[in-house]
Amino acid sequence: MQELADAGVELLQYRNKQDSDAEVLEEALAMREAAPAAMRLILNDRAMLLQQTRFDGVHVGQEDMTPAAVRSMAGAQCIVGVSTHSEEQLLQADAEPVDYIAIGPVFATGSKLNPDPVVGLEGVRLARRLTAKPLVAIGGITLENAASVREAGADSVAVISAVFSAGNSAAEQARAFLRRLR
């Protein structure tokens, strides 16, 4: 965690779809302990574990607890984000009490078993026109295409395999992304 922070990573989302709440809690607590105080941690989906993990926020998808319910439960200081995959979802998310909206998948992705249809760079451009909230591009973002996603209107990008692939230093990959996006 310190290596990622030293590389410039300020926000890290913990996403674990398969393990039990008890396992997620155990791993999240270890992450919180290892993370520098300045690094903000976001819990994917499991809003009910937020207080126990001492994470800074929750990211929900279309099938999870609503952003309004998360905000009500977690309070104003909590970071709340939501994934969207269409114009309709984006407009709905824009009316919700969220701190950021994720749009995607921008490109094909292997990190989900049943990914939503690709929205492409045009989907990012449309999302930027429809919301003034911070926009996070998700899905299939690589070092090679990250700049085009930013140019299309994303404020930031979310990456999994492009940073955490086998054989690569996650910190070095994160540094490369941050250099490319500046």
Contacts 24+ apart (CB under 8 A), 113-120: 115/139, 116/85, 117/85, 119/85, 119/86
Cα 33 to Cα 7: distance, rounded to the nearest angstrom: 19
Q: Which domain holds residue 66?
A: 2-181
pLDDT of residue 113: 67
pLDDT of residue 112: 66
Of the candidates 37, 5, 1, the residue with the CA atom closest to the CA atom of residue 178? 5
Q: Which CATH number do you get for residue 67?
A: 3.20.20.70
The model carries a pTM of 0.93
Q: Report the phi/psi class of residue 51: left, alpha or beta, with left for phi > 0 and alpha for psi in -120 to 50.
A: alpha
Cβ-Cβ contacts under 8 Å for 142 (sequence gap 6 or more): 107, 159, 162
Active site residues: 15, 83, 112
**Can you give the pLDDT of all 182 residues of the chain as single tens digits?**
899 999 999 999 999 989 999 999 999 999 999 999 999 999 999 999 999 999 999 999 999 999 999 999 999 999 999 999 999 999 999 999 999 999 999 999 876 667 788 999 999 999 999 999 999 999 999 999 999 999 999 999 999 888 887 677 999 999 999 998 88
Of the candidates 165, 110, 174, 118, the residue with the CA atom closest to the CA atom of residue 146? 174
Cα 182 to Cα 9: distance, rounded to the nearest angstrom: 13
When divided into structural domains, the chain yields a total of 1
Collapsing DSSP states into helix, strand and coil, what is residue 83?
A: strand
**What are the φ/ψ torsions at residue 45 (nearest 5 degrees)?**
75, -40
